Structure 1
Amino acid sequence: MPELPEVETMCRGIAPIVGQTIVQINRPPCERKAISIKPSVKTIAKKAVGQKVQRIDRLGKRVLIVLENESAIVIEPRMTGLVLLADPPSTEHLRLQIILHGKPDHNVLFWDRRGLGTVQLLNPSELKRSVIDRLGPDALVATADQLKSILGTSRRAIKVALLDQSAIAGVGNLYASEALFVSGIDPRTRCDQLTKPQWQRLCSAIHSVLREAITHEGSTLSDGTYRNALNDAGSYQNYHRVYDRAVQTCKRCQTGSIRRIVQAQRSTFFCPDCQQRRGKHASVDAASPSVDQP
């Protein structure tokens, strides 16, 4: 966390800075664990000050502030990072400030409570080599054939494989659980045991779940950490089908109980009655709960 929907929401939230000029970049005093910033803030400022922001892009779970010289300030929020235009949740975890001049003027802030996030300034060749070439297809546009080609011979459990950013970029723990539920697939199923219809259903579920979550500006969980660019909570947590709903009744079959297991040291949530290891489960034909009904 944040995953693709939260990072996409951050990107859309800071879109008003496009066309504005960077006038200052600084690292506010912070007594907490220092985050990784490469090159140094002084070097980044030397190269970026005076540049206009050409566009805002997203690569997997990274925010890209692309400058007019095609270099990009790449921010990877990781576990608790936020990219903000509004005042941060607290000043003690403020890691980077980018001051811009335009109409109106904006400050982009990177806030990170746990200090696991990273910031890099990369030129196009560096970006391709160190980021783009290491990522799988973006989860919003990946096809079923791509997923099957990349993961179809793997002996890993499908839930674990979906967290591999070199296989598919943007899906994390939360949305993997949700997509597997929507597609009716048991998260423990080995990739090489999935049928073609299951790959097709899974790909469709990934797309629909991520788009739903983006519509609701992501999920703010019980710790309250994730916020959008204006420091407001997302609302997709109100529509989760299985994530963090252990022992609660399944919203689809109304008979099964959501189960929590641990896979690759991460919590997985699923309904044993609705999700099976092979073939098409009859319950998948039933409409999934609408996102308009928490």
Structure 2
Amino acid sequence: MPELPDVEGFRKVLVSCAKGRRIRSVDVRDKGVLHGVSVRQLRESMEGRRFTEPERHGKWLLAHTDGPTLLLHFGMTGRLLCARPDDAVETHDRVLFTLSGDHQLRYRDQRKLQGLWLADDDPAVARLLGRQGPDALAVDREEFESALSSRRGHIKTALTDQSVLAGLGNLLADEILWRAGLRPSIRADVLTETERRRLYTHMRRTLRSAVTAGCVPPRDSWLTGHRDDPAPSCPRCGAHLRRSRLAGRGTVWCPRCQPDET
């Protein structure tokens, strides 16, 4: 599932492929990915416009133009790619933006769990993002600690709740908690100040590294690199990793590095 680092990578694709280029045509091959906008409205609003500097907030990509803003969410399987207009179209290419300079921006998504929205102005963008918490890469420590201290549920549930903190998904939450030595099932509101600060520090470090990689990298030194092994072991201490489910999410942790709260 695309998380903050993946979407930051898609933002860079948008910059390199489309920034400053005029939209010559919009080809909607599957209107099922459009939300609150018709095929005709999307074409009339976007064709002839020029892409400007994009932004990212959490898992949302804001593709600004010199007119409206296109908002993209990638759900479980979405991607953004740069192609040439004469490149073969893949089965899951849902919307194609043909641009000046022989470029084509493609929204590709197999499962179609999210998709594209169109906002005419900044207040409309704000309404669409109104339920999003602060961006996990931009949030300061005080805001982060305040958000967690008011949550009574599991710490992993709080980290992956987009209304609390925008951008973290399953892989990142497990990775960050493992690095911070905190079990995913501990309650967010019982963390000490020291534990919240340690969690914030490891979140920042993990995100910076993952953004550089453009994904949550399955490195040998990361929990992510072992969670899908048949008999996964902790890359730090060698203990057998445990699996469970929290709020319906598959969760992996190390019983030695992330001991039970006492």
Corresponding residue for residue 94 of structure 2: 95
Distance in 2 (CA, whole Å) between partners of 1:90 and 1:159 is 39
DSSP-derived class of the 2:35 partner: strand
1:57 aligns with 2:55: yes
Corresponding residue for residue 12 of structure 1: 12
What is the identity, as a one-letter code, of the residue corresponding to 2:32?
A
Following superposition of structure 1 onto structure 2, how do residues 172-183 of structure 1 map, counting pairs within 5 Å? Answer: 172-183=169-180
Determine if contact 2:221/2:235 at 8 Å carries over to the other structure. Answer: no
1:146 aligns with 2:146: no
Gaps of 5+ in 1: 220-235, 280-294
Determine if contact 1:34/1:115 at 8 Å carries over to the other structure. Answer: yes
Corresponding residue for residue 197 of structure 1: 194
Corresponding residue for residue 104 of structure 2: 107
Distance in 2 (CA, whole Å) between partners of 1:124 and 1:160 is 30
Q: Say if 1:91 and 1:163 are closer, same or farther in 2 by CA, change over 3 A.
A: same
Determine if contact 1:36/1:119 at 8 Å carries over to the other structure. Answer: yes
Determine if contact 1:249/1:258 at 8 Å carries over to the other structure. Answer: yes
User: Which deviates the most, 169-178 or 11-20?
Assistant: 11-20
Determine if contact 1:139/1:170 at 8 Å carries over to the other structure. Answer: yes
What is the identity, as a one-letter code, of the residue corresponding to 2:9?
T
Distance in 1 (CA, whole Å) between partners of 2:184 and 2:39 is 42
Tell me the matched-pair count: 255
1:128 aligns with 2:111: no
1:157 aligns with 2:154: yes
User: Which deviates the most, 87-96 or 113-122?
Assistant: 87-96
Corresponding residue for residue 24 of structure 1: 25
**Cα drift, residue 14 of structure 1:** 2.1
Distance in 2 (CA, whole Å) between partners of 1:39 and 1:167 is 28
**Cα drift, residue 240 of structure 1:** 6.2
Determine if contact 2:175/2:222 at 8 Å carries over to the other structure. Answer: yes
What whole-Å deviation, never above 9, does each CA across 1:103-124 have from its counterpart, x for those lacking one? Answer: x331110111011121011021
Corresponding residue for residue 211 of structure 1: 208
Corresponding residue for residue 251 of structure 1: 235
What whole-Å deviation, never above 9, does each CA across 1:16-67 have from its counterpart, x for those lacking one? Answer: 2111011111112x5xx93233311211111121111111111110121101
What is the identity, as a one-letter code, of the residue corresponding to 2:233?
T
**Cα drift, residue 89 of structure 1:** 9.8
DSSP-derived class of the 1:180 partner: helix
**Cα drift, residue 84 of structure 1:** 0.7
TM-score normalised by L of structure 1: 0.81
Corresponding residue for residue 275 of structure 1: 258
Distance in 2 (CA, whole Å) between partners of 1:185 and 1:48 is 47
Distance in 1 (CA, whole Å) between partners of 2:218 and 2:237 is 20
**Cα drift, residue 241 of structure 1:** 2.4
User: Which deviates the most, 168-177 or 199-208?
Assistant: 199-208
What whole-Å deviation, never above 9, does each CA across 1:253-276 have from its counterpart, x for those lacking one? Answer: 23x211111001111111110113
**Cα drift, residue 277 of structure 1:** 4.9
What is the identity, as a one-letter code, of the residue corresponding to 1:155?
R
**Cα drift, residue 11 of structure 1:** 0.8
What whole-Å deviation, never above 9, does each CA across 1:204-249 have from its counterpart, x for those lacking one? Answer: 1111111111211214xxxxxxxxxxxxxxxx12346223246422
Distance in 1 (CA, whole Å) between partners of 2:221 and 2:58 is 21
Distance in 2 (CA, whole Å) between partners of 1:89 and 1:146 is 47
1:237 aligns with 2:218: yes
* Alignment root-mean-square deviation, CA: 2.0
Distance in 1 (CA, whole Å) between partners of 2:88 and 2:9 is 17
Determine if contact 1:61/1:77 at 8 Å carries over to the other structure. Answer: yes
Q: Say if 1:37 and 1:106 are closer, same or farther in 2 by CA, change over 3 A.
A: farther
Distance in 2 (CA, whole Å) between partners of 1:160 and 1:153 is 13
DSSP-derived class of the 1:237 partner: coil
